[in-house]
């Protein structure tokens, strides 16, 4: 099991029975394969499907059933299809319980930047700005540092911000942080990472929870 799958499994634990959940591109799409079987969860995608199922096998693959990231998905029994405008109406109307997104940067106060890198081609903010504003809970799953080793969890974002003070929970391959009243709180830490090592790679200021526990999947 790789680190991305572990993050997806940890994120899946945050989903409650009956939730309507939108999964962003990247690590979040993996969550669909790790949802607890005992829970009824309705996965939503911006291009117009409520009731997304697990990743299809070669035999199940239907090129006409895709998510917003153009990846093939399955549809659960009872799934519904609708227009993109109706889909965004659901998001903007506050009908999505949880949005799980990737991020380029996250700030210690819960700001998120996940749509543009200065100096690189910009395709547009997409549905991210609607999801972070409309979802009741925003969970970020992301690698702790960028590919070049640059920190992604900062005092403040240096990339264009998608939304301010919206992140509820941040899950990386090393730690889980909760955001509360503008404060960042370390809740879980992997067994192979010390608090000092984490601090050295995390410029953001955060509080260590009095109930700090092991990050396990």
What stretches in the chain show pLDDT beneath 50? Answer: none
State residue 125's pLDDT score: 77
Annotate the chain with three-state secondary structure. CCHHHHHHHHHHCCCCCCCEEEECCCHHHHHHHHCCCCCCCEEEECCCEEEECCCCCCCCCCCCCECCCCCECCEEEEEEECCHHHHHHHHHCCCCCEEEECCCEEECCCCEECCCCCCCCCCCCCCHHHHHHHCCEEEEECCCECCCCCECEECCCCCCCCECCCCCEEECCCEEEEEECCEEEEEEECCCCCHHHHHHCCCCCCEEEEEEEECCC
* Positions marked active-site: 46
State residue 116's pLDDT score: 87
Q: Looking at domain 3-214, what is its CATH homologous superfamily?
A: Glutaconate Coenzyme A-transferase (3.40.1080.10)
41-97: pLDDT as tens digits: 999 999 999 999 988 999 999 999 999 888 899 999 999 999 999 999 999 999 999
Residues above pLDDT 70, as percent of the chain: 100
């Amino acid at each position: 099991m790789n680190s991305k799958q572990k993050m997806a499994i940890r994120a899946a634990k945050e989903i409650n029975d009956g939730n309507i959940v939108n999964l962003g591109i990247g690590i979040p799409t993996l969550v669909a394969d790790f949802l607890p079987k005992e829970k009824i969860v309705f996965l939503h995608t911006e291009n117009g499907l409520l009731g997304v199922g697990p990743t299809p096998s070669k035999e199940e693959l239907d090129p006409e059933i895709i998510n917003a990231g153009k990846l093939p998905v399955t549809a659960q029994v009872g799934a519904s299809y609708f227009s993109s405008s109706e889909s965004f109406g659901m998001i903007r109307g506050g009908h999505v319980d949880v949005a799980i997104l990737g991020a380029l940067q996250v700030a210690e106060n819960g700001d998120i930047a996940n749509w543009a890198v200065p100096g690189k081609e910009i395709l547009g903010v997409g549905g991210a700005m609607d999801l972070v504003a409309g979802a009741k809970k925003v969970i970020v799953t992301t690698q702790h540092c960028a590919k070049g080793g640059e920190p992604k969890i900062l005092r403040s974002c240096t990339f264009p911000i998608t939304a301010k003070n919206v992140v509820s929970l941040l899950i990386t391959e090393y730690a889980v942080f909760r955001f509360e009243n503008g404060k960042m709180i370390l809740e879980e830490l992997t067994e192979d990472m010390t608090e000092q090592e984490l601090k050295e790679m995390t410029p953001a200021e955060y509080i260590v929870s009095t109930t700090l526990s092991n990050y396990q999947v």
